[in-house]
């Protein structure tokens, strides 16, 4: 996530400071494009220790797009306990 934010900053996107209100985390940023500004807003609501809801909006001159994600922990992964080391995700190889 940090890499993605750094890439966007290098492209001129401006990020507002992260806001927290109890269990609600709000982030927003604006990126300039050839067709005008794109505004992004994301609200992450921690429902409890095992679930969250993520609401995001993207605003362009032409339209508003919304997305809602609900996630809940289902249990431990087979063969791994809590505290097990995570293996890094490989980046896909690029083909010419």
65 SS3 class? strand
Residue 47 resides in a domain: yes
> In which residue ranges of the chain is pLDDT below 70?
1, 79-89, 91, 95-96
pTM passes above 0.75? no
User: What are the beta bridge partners of residue 38?
Assistant: 31
Do 54 and 76 touch, CB atoms closer than 8 A? Answer: no
Which string of b and e fits 50-82 if b means at least 16 CB within 10 Å? eebeebeeeeeeeeeeeeeeeeeeeeeeeeeee
Residue 58 resides in a domain: yes
Residue 35 resides in a domain: yes
Range of the domain at 38: 2-72
What's residue 42's pLDDT? 95
**Number of separate domains in the chain:** 1
Helical residues (DSSP H) of the chain, grouped into ranges: 2-10
| Total Cβ atoms within 10 A of residue 47 | 12
């Amino acid at each position: 996530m940090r890499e993605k934010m750094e890439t966007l900053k290098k492209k001129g996107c401006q990020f507002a400071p992260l806001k927290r209100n109890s269990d609600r985390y709000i982030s927003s940023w604006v990126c300039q494009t050839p067709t005008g500004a794109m505004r992004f807003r994301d609200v992450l609501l921690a429902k409890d220790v095992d679930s969250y809801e993520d609401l995001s909006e993207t605003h362009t001159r032409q339209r508003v797009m919304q997305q809602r994600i609900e996630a809940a922990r289902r249990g431990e992964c087979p063969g791994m306990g809590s505290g097990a080391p995570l293996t890094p995700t490989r980046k896909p190889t690029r083909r010419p």
